[in-house]
């Protein structure tokens, strides 16, 4: 079937080239996108809680393999964050989890609040029996523990690649999953305050408010894969 498709494309004069991973198109570059992961190194990243450390200080729990950043299971590597901070931005990435795995991407991350450093876009094997008792606010694409995603979100199963986006502009935040917006909210809103009040973050009065911060890839000790991490800064609203 693949060979037939290639022949048909050639007959019709269509391009059969595939896009290389961890690269930007000319249009993306013009739109202000930058890569957060180049497929070969962790340049621009450092361990959380170590402001003077660089990529060389990231522990062995993280490995780059065939252009993919892998969080090794059972090997504590620690959370890693971008060296740069962001205020208004669009973040995009692709991710894959192994069966039963749990991980996440956090944004607006601060080292001044180490027990609740940022707001997490949850990544989870939702279909696993291990997590069947979790409430919706702890499932994939939620604002972890605070707000649930749409019930009809288009999540692919463990072992397959998903594509996610986070948009932060002014007080407005959106979570996207596989091309569909599955959550939007306003930072500091009554809905966020109510969600925080019912969560483990309730002892942090500033949790859920706007701040300039890092992007974090969390280490929950489970296997996770990342590629095509990119970000563009947006004008403030």
Question: In this prediction, what percent of the chain has a pLDDT beyond 70?
Answer: 92
pLDDT at 237: 84
pLDDT at 18: 60
pLDDT at 206: 95
- The CB density around residue 175, as the number of other CB atoms within 10 Å, is 24
4 band by pLDDT with thresholds 50, 70 and 90: very low
Q: Quick one: which of 123, 119, 47 has its CA closest to 86?
A: 119
pLDDT at 5: 39
Structure tokens at 49: 């809680």
pLDDT at 133: 94
pLDDT at 2: 39
CA atoms of 205 and 64, how far apart (whole Å)? 38
H or E stretch at 102: strand 102-109
Q: pTM (2 decimals)?
A: 0.91
Q: Quick one: which of 135, 151, 104, 111 has its CA closest to 198?
A: 135
CA atoms of 78 and 217, how far apart (whole Å)? 9
pLDDT digits (tens, 9 = 90+) for 167-200: 999 999 999 999 999 999 999 999 999 999 999 9
Q: Within 13 Å of residue 235, how many CA atoms lie on the same side as its CB?
A: 2
pLDDT at 174: 98
- The CB density around residue 74, as the number of other CB atoms within 10 Å, is 8
pLDDT at 180: 98
Q: Please name each of the domains of the chain with its CATH number.
A: 20-233 (2.60.120.560)
Average pLDDT of 150-162?
98
Q: Quick one: which of 232, 229, 7, 13 has its CA closest to 121?
A: 229
CA atoms of 54 and 230, how far apart (whole Å)? 19
CA atoms of 16 and 71, how far apart (whole Å)? 32
Structure tokens at 7: 């022949």
Average pLDDT of 8-14?
40
The per-residue pLDDT of the chain, averaged, comes to 93
Note the Cα 130 to chain centre separation in Å: 22
pLDDT digits (tens, 9 = 90+) for 18-44: 679 999 999 999 999 999 999 999 999
Average pLDDT of 143-158?
98
């Amino acid at each position: 079937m693949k060979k037939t498709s290639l022949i048909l494309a050639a007959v019709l004069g269509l391009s059969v080239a595939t896009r290389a991973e961890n690269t930007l198109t000319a249009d993306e570059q013009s739109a202000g996108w930058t890569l957060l992961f180049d497929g070969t190194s962790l340049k621009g990243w450092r361990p959380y809680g170590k402001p003077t450390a660089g990529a060389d200080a990231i522990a062995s729990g993280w490995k780059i393999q065939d252009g993919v950043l892998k969080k090794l299971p059972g090997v504590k590597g620690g959370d890693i964050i971008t060296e740069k901070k962001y205020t208004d931005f669009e973040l995009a990435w692709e991710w894959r989890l192994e069966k039963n795995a749990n991980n996440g991407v956090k944004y607006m991350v601060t080292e001044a609040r180490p027990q609740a450093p940022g707001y997490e876009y949850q990544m989870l094997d939702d279909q696993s029996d291990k997590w069947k008792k979790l409430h919706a606010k702890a499932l994939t694409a939620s604002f972890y523990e605070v707000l649930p995603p749409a019930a009809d979100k288009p999540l692919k199963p463990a072992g397959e690649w998903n594509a996610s986006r986070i948009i932060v502009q002014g007080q407005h935040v959106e979570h996207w999953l596989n091309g569909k917006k599955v959550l939007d909210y306003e930072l500091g809103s009554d809905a966020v305050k109510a969600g925080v009040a019912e969560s483990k973050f309730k002892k942090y009065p500033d949790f859920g408010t706007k701040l300039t911060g890092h992007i974090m890839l969390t280490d929950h000790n489970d296997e996770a894969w990342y590629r095509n991490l990119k970000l563009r800064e947006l004008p403030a609203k």
